[in-house]
Amino acid sequence: MRKIVNGCSLQPKSGTTRKIVLLLHGYGSSGSDLISLAPHWQQAMPDALFLAPNAPQRCGMTGGYQWWQLAAFGPQALAAGATSAAPAIDAFIHRKLAQYDLAEGDLAIVGFSQGTMMALHVGLRRSTQVAIVGYSGMLTGAAELAHHHITKPPVMLIHGSDDPIVPVAALHAAKAQLSKLGIQVSHHVSAGLGHSVDPVGLRLGGEFVAAALRETRSSEVTNAR
């Protein structure tokens, strides 16, 4: 297993880490790309540490990174790729939660494209539910999930209607598959948008994560009384 050791981060505005938002970049990109979401969300999540690690594998000659090599695009190949990449992300999460003495419920995972595949793969299989936001991605290994013990986390999927890389049909397929498992999925399709994140999607994703983390905090306070 290759270890995730680097990337980009944005420290909590409050100065104290009580939440972690993990940002997983797309194929051929890096943490320095997806960390650009964090400044837009920081005001609503002042206690959140934003972490945007680089995937463990270098990607060709582009200087970017990949969670796994996209040599094939069939359902089995994508599921196998996500499965192979998951241990590195799980280990990174365990390490960071332990470092800041946080619980699973203090975590949200946000992905873009291949990073969304990883956010859904890892997030759905955590022992305690974590909030998940996926931009311009797809669900891999849906058939396996039906035979897996999974949590039912809050999920939001956001996609461009004109995405030429990952067609918007992937959002609708993922929502249908997750709904069959009893997982409630919010979604938004940005009209005319390609393989990207627009201001509306940026706002909705941030609001979703902030609300999910607030709800976790409120539950912890209530249970402590």
**What CATH number has the domain bearing residue 84?**
3.40.50.1820
Kindly indicate the confidence band of residue 1, based on its pLDDT and cuts at 50, 70 and 90: low
Give the pLDDT of residue 161.
Answer: 98
* pTM of the full structure: 0.93
At 217 the pLDDT is 54
Q: Is the pLDDT assigned to residue 124 strictly greater than 70?
A: yes
Contacts 24+ apart (CB under 8 A), 63-72: 64/27, 64/28, 64/29, 64/30, 65/25, 65/28, 65/29, 65/30, 66/27, 66/28, 66/114, 67/24, 67/27, 67/114, 67/115, 67/117, 67/118, 70/27, 70/114
Q: 69 in a domain, yes or no?
A: yes
| Residue 74: per-residue pLDDT | 85
Residue 1 in domain: no
Could you tell me if 22 and 108 are in contact, meaning their C-beta atoms sit under 8 angstroms apart? yes
Count how many domains the chain has.
Answer: 1
Q: Residue 30: give the domain boundaries.
A: 8-224
Domain assignment of residue 3, yes or no? no
Residue 91 lies in a domain: yes
